[in-house]
Structure 1
Amino acid sequence: MPELKKTASYAWWGIKLMYRANPRRAIFVLSVRLMESTLGPLLVWLSAMVIDGLIRDYSAFSERGLFFWMVVLFVILTILVEVLEPIVEMNKKLLTVQIQKHIDELLMEKANEFEDIAPFDDQNFYNKIKVIRHNDYVTELWLDMTSNTFGGLVQIIGGTILIWTVFPLAPVLFVIMALPRVFAEAKLNNVTFEGRAEVQELRRRSEYYMSIPLSHELANEVKMYGLTSFFKKKYKDASHELIKMLSGDQRKWTLHNMGWGIAEAAVSGMVLLLIVSQASSGGIAVGALLLFIGALYQLREGINELFAVFAIGAREMVNLRNMAEFLSFQSPKTSGSLPVPARIHQGFVLEQVKFSYKGQREILNIDHLMLPHGKVTVLVGDNGAGKSTLVKLLLRMLHADSGSIYYNGMPLEAYDMDAFRSNATAVFQDFVRYEATMNTNIAVGDMEHYKDMDAVMRSAVLGGADGIAAKLPQGYETELGRFFGGTPLSGGQWQRVAMARAYMRDQSAQVLVFDEPTSALDPYMEHEVMRRLKQLGQNKTVVIISHRLSTARLADHIVLLQEGNVLETGDHLTLMKRGGVYAELYDMQASKYQEAGHNQ
């Protein structure tokens, strides 16, 4: 009973989802579906009355009496059925699109509810989103199931009433026949479900292998190493397995439908022969024979529609339940309510901070670390040392497993999350290249000043992107990227655009975080970026990640991370005098640059 109650609640949630997508269209589709289901039995009854009327009196039609108007009503209802069908199909397709749009909007809202980026690092999160977003058939099927439930009930009731007047046992007989078919179909649906893990895995692999030779980002390497044939074979193998699996499913369904179709046709035939024999001996009227045949069709149609809902409903209810649970999930709130003070006296302090991704290898293990305010701090270390993870913790994109992080003497969790992030700006290593105008690419760095062109141009100057805009066909209104046919930029140019985006908050933000901001820049631009950051950092907390120790040399404070631990801290001169790991790494890099310059 509790499980049935839960299933009913999810079904009701699905109905409300349709209604909220477009209330008028949802009501229209369901109402017309009920009307169509009612018209079927009504037309059968009218046709039987017309036949009996003609047999009794051929002149009844010309007298313009009740019989005449029954014929007119039959014709009008027949036309109405034909007119309604394409209108309903059109509205069903439009409603399906609107339901999917509504779901997409709910997904975006749900993504915005997550306070950190941990869910986005979870593969299950993406799998759920893909199932919800890209299985349009689920939305359309649930719409059909809902309308068929009501329509099937009406057809069964109408057909049963009509048949009862001719052969009372027929409805019971066909319902009894349908029951084992429902159980067989439910079992078959579960083993041939296209949304099952093995089918989705083969689909994902096929799509991945097919996309590689067609990807612009991968074109250089694919051409260089001649990989098209390799991935074409991978695609063919995965597609072959997928087609083989789907073919097996279709064979099972074909045999199932043929077997039950023959059995139902045989039973229907025997019942029909019995009724025809009674009609031929005068036991029942000809109109009653026609009534029975039409009503039998309505009854079987209603049973098939309704029982199909039960057969696939349990399987599809899993999809609906997953969708409902995902969209209804309330993520835990860790955000406080404190505003960020206008004057900052102390930067970040980390105490006993540990972090690992989903309980795997420990990424960070920091006993104590200070990142001073009013200075530029550079984080250095090998790949995997934990530098990017550390800045994500500082920006509250991730939460530490244990320990505390303080900003201006208060725990990060005490601050209002939106207020804290509005007080910061960042350039991430995987910065976004928006397929939009250059103006938009920069302006999104501060949505409060999105339409402030002066702020955009000032930020472009600070980020070194003003020169790029000057060379573009339409300046700041030039579409960037290839997706919509815009102007492509080099890696270094995109990085300067991302820097300009971050500078949109240079006046309001008190925390500036830059993850490899000069990785694609030449040495001259790198020096200019550091010069500007030192100017801006006089009253701000500036944290930079860099593999280039030439960048670190210009910083006020350096933190060397190794395997998630703080190995050394200090300024460049202090660390060089200490002669530790930092000094060794700096000398190594400097000698390589000298060798490169000498070879040139």
Structure 2
Amino acid sequence: MKRYLRFWLELLWLSWKRYPGQTSALIVCKLLSVVLVAITALALRDVVNAVIDHDPRTAVVAGLVAALAYCAMAHLEGLDTVIIFVLVERIGLLELQPQIDHDIAAIEGLDHLERAEFLDRVTVVRGAAWGLVFGMWVAVDSVFNMSRLAVLLVVLGAVNPWLLVLLLFAAAPLWFEQRAQRMVNAAETETAESFRLQRHLFNLATEAATSKEIRTAGAGPECARRQAEAWQDVAKVQLRARIRGARWQLAGWLLFTAAFGAGLAAVANGAVSGAGTVGDVVLAITVLINLRLAVQMTVHRTAETAGAGRLIDPYLWLRDYVAAESARRKGSQPAPDTLRDGIELDHVSFTYPGTTRPALDDVSVRLAAGSVVAVVGEYGSGKTTLVKLLMKFYQPDSGTILVDGIDLQDLDANGWRSHASVIFQDFGRFQTTFGETVGLGDLEHIDDVERIEQAVRWADAQDLVRRLPDGLDTQLGRSLGGVDLSEGQWQKAALARASMRRRPVLFALDEPTASLDPPSEHAIFKRYMTRARSLAEEAGAIVIVVSHRFSSVAGADQILVMDKGRISERGTHDELVAAGGRYAEMYGIHARAYAIA
């Protein structure tokens, strides 16, 4: 609860700092509402007593006060609601949501995206900024509702001090409600993985990229069945938690209702016996009814406040995780503009989270500055993992990666990546304009048409751009009303994106032409080999080519053959062919396959 309080105070301070007038007006509205409840009750008592005492002037004045107080309360409640929603949308959608997105994107690695505990929290927090800010105002409202309870009890105590005992019974629904809400919150976190599964199955059957195979295989009914099972798992756990919680809520309200009835009976008995006035009875009834409403509203708001925990706990967990990752991984040394020695991997091993087999196992190799390095091997041999570690997406479990003698972990991640260009085999398909999807490769120059056109030429994508209806301004993605590209066209767009940076010191091409036809592949590799030599002269750049097509790697200065996470062979093309090992065998199979084709 202390963490919740600190978080709510942060949000309240942010609201006041950004919108001081509206925030102050909202607090004043809530304060006046508390006072007006007591004024209304006291004025109604005076009306009744004045009528019995035949004092019309006092009755009229008291009646006017009661009417004005009631009207003011009604107006303030409406104004309160309007201001809250304005502030929640402004702070939640314009302040907190961008901060959540920034925090998640600020994590420099990728391993968190493969951890269930992280994904569970993201599932809950995604789009939750509105609820987080609304939860803060609900908490504020709970404080004022409790203040209203206190004021009502003070007024009630003036009629009969024993009625103050109701305060204890008013706490019962609050305590039981919080217990019930904790059960519901725990159930939501427990079912987050099943919730993600059912959403994944829904996407499989409804997205164009996967629905073709689903329909061809006739697997739609099976996807629907499994999605229903996942939903049932979610509903079963959450329903069980809500039923248990409802029992606790019922117990709390039964206690308060019994005390409420006893209090009314005591006041009525006092009036009959002459210990009080009829006005006291009216006052007591008015206060008790308002007390019941105040308790009900307090319980409701307290439940919402406790319910906000289902968002706050994951949000604070994510925030702590981001802070811990930033402290653990943050390098401060600037990345080199030019490589002089190169990159050295010294006994590097790495295993992906949730697996047991090393993706890289005791890898040691030197990548000389100004060299073209080819990495070949079967699928799952560790080729892409090597590139990911060089991009600082993961930290080695053991061993070090040195860049010109400096540990890669000591380099600023953003600075290092700004000196690198890479295309991965699972490249992104960004549904923006074609020019922007290329320009994203160097965000500072996303509007530089000349640089974008040069990158398009490097990727041999000029004909593709000419065929697009609006050229570089063509919107991509049918879901956004644009055009869709073939797999090979998307890959050319990704190649162009990787070519945006003019002077990278690390240029990695991970299966860059897997979706292209042989003529396009040959033309592109010829261009990139020329560019690689130019980058080597300018910046001592290392160009890494990961490919299963051996004709593409024959001209590399060094070829690394990977097998089960280890480097089994290394050397030039001629050296490896002459050695007659695994590389020579795979090259022969590849050459014969192309000859037959």
For the criterion TM > 0.5, the same-fold answer is: yes
Structure 1 residues without counterparts, runs of 5 or longer: 1-6, 61-65
Paired position in structure 1 for 2:519: 524
Report if the CA contact (8 A) 2:374-2:546 is conserved.
yes
Q: Secondary structure at the match of 1:219?
A: helix
Q: Secondary structure at the match of 1:445?
A: helix
1:485 aligned residue (470, 481, 485):
481
Q: Distance in 1 between matches of 2:190 and 2:409?
A: 42
Q: Distance in 1 between matches of 2:402 and 2:3?
A: 45
Q: Distance in 1 between matches of 2:217 and 2:207?
A: 15
Q: Secondary structure at the match of 1:483?
A: helix
1:144, distance to aligned residue in structure 2 (A): 5.0
Q: Given the alignment of the two structures, is residue 451 of structure 1 paired with residue 447 of structure 2, yes or no? A: yes
1:453, distance to aligned residue in structure 2 (A): 1.0
1:574, distance to aligned residue in structure 2 (A): 1.7
1:528, distance to aligned residue in structure 2 (A): 1.3
Q: Secondary structure at the match of 1:90?
A: helix
Q: Secondary structure at the match of 1:446?
A: helix
1:183, distance to aligned residue in structure 2 (A): 4.4
Q: Secondary structure at the match of 1:426?
A: strand
Structure 2 residues without counterparts, runs of 5 or longer: none
Q: Distance in 1 between matches of 2:409 and 2:263?
A: 75
The CA RMSD over aligned residues, in Å, is: 2.8
Report if the CA contact (8 A) 1:337-1:416 is conserved.
yes
Paired position in structure 1 for 2:403: 407
Report if the CA contact (8 A) 1:33-1:147 is conserved.
no
Paired position in structure 2 for 1:4: none
Report if the CA contact (8 A) 1:100-1:133 is conserved.
no
Paired position in structure 1 for 2:556: 555
Q: Distance in 2 between matches of 1:208 and 1:337?
A: 39
Paired position in structure 1 for 2:113: 120
Q: Secondary structure at the match of 1:218?
A: helix
Larger mean CA deviation between 299-308 and 427-436 belongs to 299-308
Paired position in structure 1 for 2:288: 296
Q: Given the alignment of the two structures, is residue 326 of structure 1 paired with residue 318 of structure 2, yes or no? A: yes
1:400, distance to aligned residue in structure 2 (A): 1.7
Q: Distance in 2 between matches of 1:409 and 1:193?
A: 50
Taking structure 1 as reference, are residues 264 and 365 closer, same or farther at Cα in structure 2, changes over 3 Å only?
A: closer
Taking structure 1 as reference, are residues 10 and 291 closer, same or farther at Cα in structure 2, changes over 3 Å only?
A: same
Paired position in structure 2 for 1:108: 101
Paired position in structure 1 for 2:589: 588
Taking structure 1 as reference, are residues 214 and 187 closer, same or farther at Cα in structure 2, changes over 3 Å only?
A: same
- Superposed, 1:4-403 pairs within 5 Å as 7-21=1-15, 22-24=18-20, 25-57=22-54, 59-60=56-57, 68-101=60-93, 102-135=95-128, 139=132, 142-143=135-136, 145-172=138-165, 174-193=166-185, 195-280=187-272, 282-306=274-298, 317=309, 320-328=312-320, 329-330=323-324, 331-358=326-353, 360-403=356-399
Larger mean CA deviation between 359-368 and 559-568 belongs to 359-368
Q: Secondary structure at the match of 2:347?
A: strand
Deviations 1:433-484 (A, max 9, x none): 1111111111111122222111111111111222221111111111111331
Q: How high is the sequence identity, in percent, across the aligned residues?
A: 24
Q: Secondary structure at the match of 1:558?
A: strand
Paired position in structure 2 for 1:3: none
1:83, distance to aligned residue in structure 2 (A): 2.2
Report if the CA contact (8 A) 2:525-2:552 is conserved.
yes
Q: Distance in 1 between matches of 2:46 and 2:564?
A: 88
Deviations 1:209-244 (A, max 9, x none): 333221222111111011121122223333344444
Deviations 1:362-396 (A, max 9, x none): 22124531223323211101111111111112122
1:408, distance to aligned residue in structure 2 (A): 3.1
Report if the CA contact (8 A) 2:92-2:133 is conserved.
no
1:562, distance to aligned residue in structure 2 (A): 0.7
Q: Distance in 1 between matches of 2:395 and 2:231?
A: 41
Taking structure 1 as reference, are residues 448 and 537 closer, same or farther at Cα in structure 2, changes over 3 Å only?
A: same
Paired position in structure 2 for 1:471: 467
Q: Distance in 1 between matches of 2:410 and 2:134?
A: 47
Which residue type is aligned with residue 12 of structure 1?
R
Q: Distance in 2 between matches of 1:354 and 1:402?
A: 5
Q: Distance in 2 between matches of 1:14 and 1:524?
A: 61
1:137, distance to aligned residue in structure 2 (A): 8.2
Which residue type is aligned with residue 222 of structure 2?
F
Which residue type is aligned with residue 345 of structure 2?
L
Report if the CA contact (8 A) 2:455-2:500 is conserved.
yes
Q: Distance in 2 between matches of 1:19 and 1:195?
A: 32
Q: Distance in 1 between matches of 2:182 and 2:410?
A: 49
Q: Secondary structure at the match of 2:37?
A: helix
Q: Secondary structure at the match of 1:391?
A: helix
Report if the CA contact (8 A) 1:379-1:545 is conserved.
yes
1:56, distance to aligned residue in structure 2 (A): 2.6
1:342, distance to aligned residue in structure 2 (A): 4.5
Q: Distance in 1 between matches of 2:171 and 2:147?
A: 19
Q: Distance in 2 between matches of 1:418 and 1:140?
A: 31
Report if the CA contact (8 A) 2:120-2:189 is conserved.
no
Q: Given the alignment of the two structures, is residue 417 of structure 1 paired with residue 418 of structure 2, yes or no? A: no
Paired position in structure 2 for 1:572: 573
Report if the CA contact (8 A) 1:376-1:544 is conserved.
yes
Larger mean CA deviation between 451-460 and 322-331 belongs to 322-331
Paired position in structure 1 for 2:427: 431
Q: Distance in 2 between matches of 1:242 and 1:318?
A: 15
Q: Distance in 1 between matches of 2:146 and 2:185?
A: 26
Q: Secondary structure at the match of 2:481?
A: coil
Deviations 1:14-47 (A, max 9, x none): 2312442554444444442333233222211222
Q: Distance in 2 between matches of 1:511 and 1:241?
A: 47
TM-score, structure 1 length as denominator?
0.89
Report if the CA contact (8 A) 2:123-2:192 is conserved.
no
